Chains A and B, each alone.
Chain A
Amino acid sequence: MEILIQQLFNGLTIGSVYSLVALGLTLVYGILHIPNFAHGALYMMGGYITLTMMTKYGFHYWLAIFISILVVGLIGVLMERFVFHPLREAPPIHDKIAAIGILLFLEAFAQFVWGAEYQSMPTPYGQVVEIFGLTFTMQRLLIVIAAIVVMILLTLFLKKTFTGSTIIAMSQNREGANLVGINTNKVAMLTFMISGGLAAIAASLSAPINLVFPGMGHLVILKAFVIIILGGMGSVPGAILGGYILGFTESLGATYISNEYKDIIAFVLLVIILSVKPTGLFSKGGH
């Protein structure tokens, strides 16, 4: 029983990180129809920037995360401006290849600047807390709480603010949004900014319990793709729900099935879903 609760909590932690990454991915897909393969690289950059800010410049954890959000958000905006914007009329295969090019570049860049070795991020929240006889590390609790706060803020932003509504409008109909006077270019940049920021938060939160290295985004981005296919591509609640489902499945699978093969679970899940329904679960007609 204790193991089960412990694993459920682990699932909640991993799920929170997955959800944040998947949210950024799904926003970009929903609005611009770009499967951003470089999103994992943004996640990795987020981890490194927070780490550098903390270790090299001695900033506080939260300040470091804030800088990381800004920097990665900016990288996202630059990506949109210089790569995806010129390609918006091109056949869909081009976006994907361009994204892969960015991914390769950012990874090589990280390796060049920070080296290939694994690094660990210090955290001011290393304490262990005990609740109902179960022990949790502060950092893990922090991941869950911070992720939920971010998701609530994002939802409020999308639902309650004017800028948020323009994003929603554009995801529903790009031409229509343009017609009613929404500056679609601005919204596209904003979307990439938010998407990059979310990746930076996810990486900065999870880095202290994992490690920081150039390939850290690989598995996470693949799983984020599984999540947004699970939750319907472009759907915000779908990404959140899908992230937690995958988090729970993995941590339970690791305990009760096989720890070795836990990373395969997500992909097998995806293969099954797409085999049954080639357009993904909850897909809206057309795009």
Chain B
Amino acid sequence: MSKIQKIVILVLILFAIVFPLISKNDYFIHIMTLSFIWMIGVYGLNLLAGFTGYLSLAHAGFFAIGAYSLGLLTAKAEMNFWPALFLSLVITGVLGFFAGLISLRTKEHFFAIYTLCVGYIIYLVIDKWDSLTEGVRGLIGIPAPANIGPLSFETLHSHYYLVLFFLLLVVLIMYRIVHSLSGRTYIAIRNSEDLAQTIGISTMKNKLTVFVISTVIAGLSGALYASFVRFIGPDIGSIAIVFDFLTYLLVGGIGTLSGPIVGTLLIVVLSQRLQFLQDYRMLVFGPVLTLLIIFYPRGIVGAVAAFGQKRRGQVHKSNIQAANLPEEQVKEG
């Protein structure tokens, strides 16, 4: 990481910390907290789709599993928030493990179709299993996170910091994964699975690990959502949510570390600014998604990186993180 990058990151974190103090409007803090929650989910999707090359359309399902696990454990079983959070991550991970075990044997188109169906099954089960999930009525009365010693999370501000903490944690984990040997392995799998296998990478084991991590992160995002919004309905498991995630990811930059933050923030802020976009946002974002994938497959972050690269005359090509260069790598492979 260059010095400038470090400074930018520090400034951003500082800004995120002081944001609630300078913002007079509670509504903005509410929106920011929500976008942080989305970002976490988008990071989950990014690890799998962006770095390993497997487009999972089941992630709204895992988001919903995380949310419902937490909701049911706290609201119905009246468990303390923290063990419930841990348990809901375990539940998502275990279900993710089994879903991954089967779905990862399929490739490319089959994987996308398979996960689309898995997502739909999860949605339908939540919708129809009235006795457990309350069905279409939705689950109400989910409590706020329990106090840790003197720390209470009842207020909007404290909740904001809690979600910010988890977001930073997820970003840190992502950074560590992507810059580790495992991260390189995942990128190798994305670029050419056969080649990766030939050089001795156990592709199935790695893919399954990524899948489980990715679902757990989606589950975390769901659990945080449930405790923040306090009400969940089956709609959070619908395909529309995974499409939202995908839009955030693609606008920001798939397969990049900062993409999920840039994309989510931009679209959420834009949607807020342009109120008419609320209902018809896909009228704009649908074509944007399509045009981006044609002209800027790596989103805003990718386009900026490519622009910077051109300006430097591609001298420092080796300095640029491999993670930021999916296209070139594909062609080399």
Contact = CB atoms under 8 A, between A and B. Distances in A.
A94 interface: yes
Contact of B117 (A83, A103, A226): A226
B8 interface: no
Contacts of A107: 282, 286
A39 to B, nearest CB: 12
Contacts of A93: 49, 53, 55, 108
Contact of B282 (A104, A233, A261, A275): A104
Contact of A280 (B102, B110, B281): B110
A268 B288 CA distance: 34
B285 interface: yes
B245 to A, nearest CB: 11
A92 interface: yes
Interface-centre pick from B110, B243, B279 (highest chain A CB count, 10 A): B110
B3 to A, nearest CB: 34
Interface in B209-261: 239, 243, 246-247, 250
Contacts of B128: 260-261
Given A35-B113, A96-B109, A280-B110, A90 B287 contact: no
Interface in B76-108: 102-103, 105-108
Contacts of A226: 117
B330 interface: yes
Contact of B294 (A33, A87, A268): A87
A70 interface: no
Contacts of A33: 109
B20 interface: no
A103 B116 CA distance: 14
Given A97-B246, A264-B121, A270 B290 contact: no
A98 B290 contact: yes
Q: Categorize the interface residue count of chain B.
A: 35 or more
Nearest to B113: A225
A225 B107 contact: no
A271 B114 contact: yes
Interface-centre pick from A93, A218, A226 (highest chain B CB count, 10 A): A93
A261 B129 CA distance: 10
Contact of B290 (A105, A218, A274): A105
Contacts of A278: 105-107, 110
B287 A105 contact: yes
Given A263-B124, A271-B121, A96 B55 contact: yes
A104 B124 contact: no
Contacts of A86: 294
Nearest to B104: A278
B27 interface: no
A229 interface: yes
B133 to A, nearest CB: 13
A37 B242 CA distance: 14
Contacts of A286: none
A125 interface: no
Nearest to A225: B113
A249 interface: no
Given A229-B110, A279-B110, A97 B282 contact: no
Contact of A112 (B113, B280, B297): B280
B282 A108 contact: yes
Nearest to B287: A105
Given A101-B288, A105-B286, 11 more contacts: A92-B109, A96-B55, A97-B250, A103-B286, A104-B285, A112-B280, A267-B121, A271-B102, A274-B114, A275-B102, A280-B110
6 contacts: A96-B55, A104-B289, A105-B290, A112-B280, A225-B116, A274-B110
